[in-house]
Amino acid sequence: MRSLSVAATGMLAQQLNVDVISNNIANLSTTGFKRRRAEFADLLYQNYRRVGAQSSDSGTIVPSGVQTGLGVKPTAVYRITEQGNMQVTDNPLDLAISGKGYFQVELPNGDTAYTRAGALQRSSDGTIVTPDGYTVLPGITIPDDAVSITVDSSGEVFAQIDGQVAPQNLGQLELATFPNEAGLEAIGDNLFLETQASGGPITAVPGTDGFGTIQQGFLETSNVNVVSEITDLITAQRAYEMNSKVIQASDQMMGTLTQLR
Name the burial class of residue 99, with classes exposed (0-12), middle (13-18) and buried (19+) by CB atoms within 10 angstroms of its CB.
middle
119 DSSP 8-state letter: B
Residue among 43, 169, 155 at smallest CA distance from 103: 155
Containing structural domain, residue 189: 86-220
Mean pLDDT for 103-120 is 94
What's the confidence (pLDDT) of residue 68?
Answer: 84
- Reported as a pLDDT band with limits 50, 70 and 90, residue 192 is very high
For residues 69 and 91, state if they share a domain. Answer: no
pLDDT in tens, 76-91: 999 999 999 999 998 9
Do 233 and 213 belong to one domain? no
Helices (H), the chain: 2-26, 226-258
* DSSP, residue by residue, 19-57: HHHHHHHHTTT-TT---EEEEEEE--EEEEE-TT-B-ST
Beta carbons of 24 and 229 less than 8 angstroms apart: yes
Q: Do 8 and 76 share a domain, yes or no?
A: yes
210: helix, strand or coil: coil
Q: How many of the other CB atoms lie within 10 Å of CB of 196?
A: 8
pLDDT in tens, 10-59: 999 999 999 999 999 999 999 999 999 999 999 888 888 888 788 777 87
**pTM across the whole model:** 0.85
3-class DSSP state of 211: coil
Looking at the structure, tell me whether residues 91 and 215 fall in a common domain: yes
Segments of 139-233 assigned E as strands:
146-151, 156-161, 168-172, 175-177, 185-188, 191-193, 202-204, 213-216, 218-220
Give residue-wise pLDDT tens across range 229-261. 999 999 999 999 999 999 999 888 888 888 876
Q: Please, is 180 exposed, middle or buried when counting C-beta atoms within 10 Å of its C-beta (0-12, 13-18, 19+)? A: exposed
Judge if 203 and 94 occupy the same domain.
Answer: yes
119 and 181 housed in the same domain: yes
